[in-house]
Chains A and B, each alone.
Chain A
Amino acid sequence: MDYRVHLAKRMLTNKKGSLIGAVLAVSIGILVIHVNFVIFQGLYDAIVRDLKDYRFADILVTNEEDYIDKNDIALINWFERIPGVEAAASRMDSSASINATSNGKKTEEFRIPVVGVDPLRDTRVSTIHDTVGDGQFVFARNSIVLGSRIARDLGGVQVGDDVKLKFVDKFGVDKIKRFVVTGITSSAGGQGLDGSVVVHIDTLRSLLERPDETGAILVKLNDPTKAVEIKDFFLRSFPTDDFKAETIEESAEAQLSGFRSGIALINLIGYFGMMSSAFAIVTIQMMLVSSKTREIGIMRAIGAKRKDILILFMVQGLIIGAIGAGVGTALGLAYTFYAKETKMQFEGSLALEVTYNWEKIIQTALTSFALAIVASIYPAFRATRLLPVEAMRTV
C-alpha cells in the first residue's frame, strides 16, 4: 500500500473524533437528501398514484370540445384489444345542486361535482370503490355515493338517507332526482372523490339527456411505461375525431405543477445542507492539518514533496467521503426501507409512495463523495504551504 494512503488511514483512525465528525457531516447531508426524497417525492408520487387510481387511470381520453359521442363500449373494446392494456371504463362528469333530507329535516342546497361511473367496469380501472368505507358502491340506478366532505356539509348524511339532486340537461331543462345514499367515500389525503358524488353513469346520461355520450374513457395499463406509446397509437388510429388523450402526468399537470416546484425547492435546500457538510469537512480537515503540522514538517524534512502532502490529505478526504457516502447511503436506505415497509403517512394523510430511486441514490452518494474530496483541496493545499522548519517548531 502506498505510504501516503497508509499514513492518511492511520492519521484518521488515530483521530477518531475528527473522523466521526467528518463522516457524520457527510452522512447527515446524504440522510437529509434521502429523507426529503422519501417524504416529498413520496408525497408527490402518492398524489400521482391516487389521482391515477381514483380519477385519471394511466391514460385519460376525453373530447377536445365536449362529450365523446362515439360509442363508449366500442372504444373500451378497442382499447382492451391492445396488448398492454389491462382494462378501460367510461365516466361522465357533470354538476348538480344537492340537498338532503335527514331525520325529516331538509338541508341547505349547494352545487357539487357529479361523477357517473359504470360500476362494474370502473372497479377494473380505478380503486375509487375501495374508498367507500361505509356502505357500498353505486350498483343500483338510484343509488348515490357521497364524498365524505359533501356528507359532512349536508349535516352528517348517512347511508340510507335520501338526497335530492337537481341537474340541468342538454336542453337547459332542470331535472330533479332523488337518490338513496348507499355509501360514503373518503380517501386518505383527499385525492379521491371526497368532494364529489358518484352515481351510475346510465342514470347521469339519462338525466342529462345524453344517452350515447361519455365524458371520458379511463384506460389502465399493465405496464404504465407504455402509456405514451399507447396514447399516440390511439390518437393515430382516430385521426378525424376530436379526441384528447393524456397520460397521468399530463392529466394531473394542474395539480402537480406547483408541487413539483416545491419539491425542487426542498431538493435545493437538501443540496444546501450537503454544501454545509462540505464546509464542515473543510473545518475538520483544517483542524486535522493544524493538529498534524509538526508531522507535516517532519515529513517534509525527511524528503516528502509538497505533492506527497497534498495527496496525503486528499486521501483523507477520499476516505472521509467514501465512509461518509457509505454510511449516509446506508442510513438513507434504512430510512427508505422503514418508510416503505410501514407505508409511512403523517396524521392520517395519504400513505407515501416510497420508491428506491437508484439513480438518485447513486447520484447523491457520488455527489457527497466528490464534495468531500473537493472540500479537502483547500486544507490539503494549506498543508503543502507549511515550511518544514516552522512546522516542526509547532508543539
Chain B
Amino acid sequence: MNKIYGEGETAVHALKDVSFSIKRGELLLIVGSSGSGKSTLLNMIGLLDRPTSGKIFLDGTETTTLNDNKISSFRNSKLGFVFQFANLLSDLTVLENILLPRKIQRTDKNAIDDAKKLLRTVGLEKQMNNRANKISGGQAQRAAIARGLINNPSIVLADEPTGNLDSVTAEIIVQLMKSLVKKLGQTFIIVTHDKHQFGDVDRVITIKDGRAFEEEEPKGMEVAAT
C-alpha cells in the first residue's frame, strides 16, 4: 500500500509500496526513526486512516472498501489499541475504561468478569475503581493493554507503548505484552523506536523513508507482498 499526504509539489509520500503479512500469535515489531512512517503504517493497519492506494486484509476481510460504520465495528471487534499515552478516558474508572470497548460492542455478557480477569492479568485489581486520571503512567498503560484485549481482538496494535514511561516501568510493560503473546497467543504489532527494549521477538520490520524492510537494516529485500 501507499500513503501520500497532500497533492502536487507539496505531496509527502509517507508509505511507499509497503506490503507484509503477519501470522496469528506473532509479536511483530515495527521500528524506525522519527518521521519514518511507522506510526502512519500502524494507523493504516488500525483502520484509523485509509491508504492512498493498495489493500489491507484483516482476518480475510478487505478493509479499505468498508464504510465508516463497518470500519468502526471492525476496529471494535478485531483490533485492540495501546497508545503511547495510555489514552484512557479520564471521566471513567479503570474498570469502566476497560469495559468501554465491550459496551460499544453491546455484548455485556460476562463483561465485568472478563474485565476483572484482565485486571488480574495486568496487576491492576486494586486500582479498578480508581479514576483513570488518578493512577500512575505505568498503571494507565497496563489498563490500556487490558482495554485493548477485552474484546479478544485479532491484533493488538501498540504505538510506542513504552515511549512515555521510565525504564523500569517500560520493562514491566514489555514483559507484560510478551507474556500475553505467550499465554494468550495474542498477536501484537508494536511500533517502537527502540527494538532492543523488546529483546527477542518473532519479527522486526524496519521502516525507512516510507519503505518497509525485514530486519533492522535495509538489505534491499522487501517483505513478501500479499
A322–B117 CA distance with the chains assembled, in angstroms: 39
Interface presence of B172 (CB below 8 A): no
CB distance from A332 to the nearest CB of B (A): 32
Question: Known contacts A3-B100, A7-B91, A302-B104; is A389 also within 8 Å of B76 by CB?
Answer: no
Q: Is the CB of A295 within 8 A of B69?
A: no
Is A308 close to B, CB under 8 A?
yes
A299 at the interface (CB under 8 A from B): yes
Residue from A10, A294, A308 within 8 A of B92 (CB atoms):
A10
Cβ-closest chain A residue relative to B93: A10
Interface of A is mostly: helix
A306 at the interface (CB under 8 A from B): yes
Report A69 CB to chain B, min CB distance, Å. Answer: 83
- List 12 other contacts, CB 8 Å, given A295-B89, A303-B151: A3-B100, A14-B90, A14-B91, A298-B88, A301-B81, A302-B75, A302-B76, A303-B105, A304-B76, A304-B104, A306-B72, A392-B83
Closest CB in chain A relative to B4 CB, distance in Å: 16
- Chain A residues 5 to 34 lying within 8 A of chain B, measured CB to CB, are 6-7, 10-11, 14
Interface magnitude class on chain B: 20 to 34
A299 and B68 in contact, given A3-B103, A389-B48, A392-B83 (Cβ under 8 angstroms)? no
Q: Mark B48-76, 1 if CB is under 8 A from A, else 0.
A: 11000000000000000000110011011
Interface flag for B87 (CB, 8 Å) = yes
Expressed in whole angstroms, the Cα–Cα distance for A307 and B43 within the complex equals: 22
Looking at the assembled complex, report how far the CB atom of A303 sits from the nearest CB atom of chain B, in whole angstroms: 2
Interface residues of B in 3-55 (CB under 8 A from A): 43, 46, 48-49
A10-B73 contact, Cβ under 8 Å, with A302-B101, A303-B104: no
Is B147 interfacial (CB-CB < 8 Å)?
yes
Judging by beta carbons under 8 Å apart, are B100 and A302 in contact? Answer: yes
Q: How far is the CA of A308 from the CA of B106 in the complex (A)?
A: 12
A306 to B69, CA, bound (A): 8
Whether the Cβ atoms of A302 and B68 lie closer than 8 Å is: no
A392 contacts across to B, CB distance below 8 A: 83, 87
Whether A295 pairs with B91 at a CB distance below 8 angstroms is yes
16 contacts between A and B (CB under 8 A): A3-B104, A7-B92, A10-B91, A11-B91, A14-B90, A14-B91, A301-B81, A301-B87, A302-B81, A303-B72, A303-B76, A303-B101, A303-B151, A304-B104, A306-B72, A308-B104
Q: Give the Cβ gap from B148 to chain A, nearest Cβ, in Å.
A: 8
Contacts of B81 in A (CB 8 A): 301-302
Do B87 and A298 touch across chains, with their CB atoms under 8 A apart?
Answer: yes
Give CA–CA (A11, B83) in the complex, Å.
22
Q: A305 on the interface (CB 8 Å rule)?
A: yes
A52 at the binding interface (Cβ < 8 Å): no
* Residue A388 CB within 8 A of the other chain: yes
Closest to B157 in A: A301
- Tell me if B77 counts as interface (CB < 8 A to partner A): yes
Specify which chain B residues have a CB less than 8 angstroms from the CB of A294 in the assembled complex.
87
> Once bound together, how far apart are the Cα atoms of A323 and B95, in whole Å?
28
Instruction: Write the nearest CB–CB distance from A10 to chain B, whole angstroms.
Output: 4
Q: Which chain B residues lie closer than 8 Å to A3 at the CB level?
A: 100, 103-104
A351-376 vs B, Cβ < 8 Å mask (1 yes, 0 no): 00000000000000000000000000
- Expressed in whole angstroms, the minimum distance between the Cβ of A334 and any Cβ of chain B is 33
| A287 vs B68: C-alpha distance when bound (angstroms) | 26
Q: How far is the CB of A134 from chain B (nearest CB, A)?
A: 70
In the complex, what residues of B have CB within 8 A of residue A304's CB?
Answer: 72, 76, 104
A305–B49 CB distance below 8 A:
no
Q: Does A55 have its Cβ within 8 Å of any Cβ on chain B?
A: no
Distance, CA A7 to CA B43, complexed state (A): 26
Question: Which chain B residues numbered 91 to 124 have a C-beta less than 8 Å away from chain A?
Answer: 91-92, 96, 100-101, 103-105
Residue of A nearest to B89 (CB): A295
Distance in Å: Cβ of A296 to nearest Cβ of chain B: 10
Residues of B within 8 Å of A301, CB to CB, are 46, 48, 75, 81, 83, 87
Q: Which residue of A lies closest to B102 (CB)?
A: A3
A314-358 contact mask (Cβ, 8 Å, vs B): 1 or 0: 000000000000000000000000000000000000000000000
Contact A305-B91, Cβ < 8 Å, known A3-B100, A389-B43, A392-B83:
no
Minimal Cβ-Cβ distance residue in A for B69: A305
CB distance from B59 to the nearest CB of A (A): 15
| Minimal Cβ-Cβ distance residue in A for B68 | A306
Most chain B beta-carbon contacts within 10 A, residue among A294, A295, A303, A306: A303
Known: A7-B89, A295-B89. A305 touches B100 (CB 8 A): no
The complex places the Cα of A302 from the Cα of B150 at a distance, in Å, of 11
Whole-angstrom distance from the CB of B95 to the nearest CB of chain A? 12
B75 & A303 in contact (Cβ 8 Å cutoff): yes
B158 CB, min distance to chain A CBs, angstroms? 13
